[in-house]
Amino acid sequence: MNATIKVNYQQERFQRWLDNVLRTSKREASVVAQKQFKGVVAKCFLLTPPMSDTSFAKGFRAAKAAIKRDTGKAFLPISDALSLEKLVKRKIQIPSGGVSAALAWYKRQQRPSKKPYVDKKRPILKSQLEQVRAKLLEHVGVTAAGWSTAADSLGVKYPAWIARLKSKNSGSYKFATTDTKLKIEAKNTSNHSDSSYIQKVLNRAFGRQADAMRRQIIAALAKGKVDSSAIQWGQRS
């Protein structure tokens, strides 16, 4: 990441509602805090590509479909059975370098500073195109894997296709407690997304978990299980 993650309004809301839950709960503070932070981490997963606010399964299918669509725009698949004579006759020249060269070329086309597919489609053998797609699919979920250390510590479940990427980006998690303070910290140190993007994911996750705690408190108030005088609502709850 290229900047420091900053506390914003949604994180302040999370803190306020966590304080409300802590004041009204009979459970140990560290247990309550980690349970709520577990909710934040779970939401971070589902807000990070390829999920982008959907399920793990749907996110993976969407990423696979996107890879197939985008590589289809970039490459011209050639049958492996086509003879050299027919290739020459059709004036088709398959660039050298095989899968690695094709993959490197494709990644260059994805750079924001370059319009994608400005040149004509790059010829490639169908078998090699499938290998290119498989290589690209191996990296799907690398940003999401940055929540895995926190998830493992808090008991948040995630699929194997994300777990396999922990060697590339596992993030970090810290939990510390004293007589007067609780400190919980999760970091996603992905090089595939800048800190501003991770910040947005965190903001939304903190906001949604704050909403969940707010609903919990309101439900408890309705049942008479919580004293309303113990609740701090804030100007914008």
CA distance 7 to 142: 24
Other Cβ atoms less than 10 A from the Cβ of 171: the count is 22
In a shared domain, residues 13 and 73: no
Strand partners, 187: 172
How many domains does the chain fold into? Answer: 2
In a shared domain, residues 207 and 176: yes
The maximal CA–CA distance of the chain, rounded, in angstroms, is 86
pLDDT of residue 51: 95
pLDDT of residue 13: 93
In a shared domain, residues 15 and 123: no
pLDDT of residue 221: 94
In a shared domain, residues 98 and 156: no
| 4, part of any domain | no
Would you state the structure tokens that stand for residue 55, as one six-digit string? 């399920």
CA distance 226 to 195: 39
Rg (CA), the chain: 24
pLDDT of residue 167: 94
Alpha-carbon distance values, 225 to 28, 215, 217, 228, 230 (Å)? 18, 14, 9, 9, 12
| 2, part of any domain | no
* Predicted TM-score (pTM) of this structure: 0.85
CA distance 16 to 237: 9
The DSSP result for 86-155, as a single string, is HHHHTT--PPTTHHHHHHHHHHHHT-TTS-TT-SPPEEEEHHHHHHHHHHHHTTTTTTGGGGHHHHHHHT
| 60, part of any domain | no
Q: What residues make up the domain containing 74?
A: 66-137
Would you state the structure tokens that stand for residue 49, as one six-digit string? 């590509």
- Write out the chain's pLDDT in tens, 237 residues: 333 444 578 889 999 999 999 999 999 999 999 999 999 999 999 999 999 999 999 999 999 999 999 999 999 999 988 887 888 888 888 999 999 999 999 998 877 665 555 568 999 999 999 999 999 999 999 999 999 999 999 999 999 999 999 999 999 999 988 877 888 888 898 877 667 888 899 999 999 999 999 999 999 999 999 999 889 887 667
- Last residue within a domain, chosen from 137, 163, 179: 137
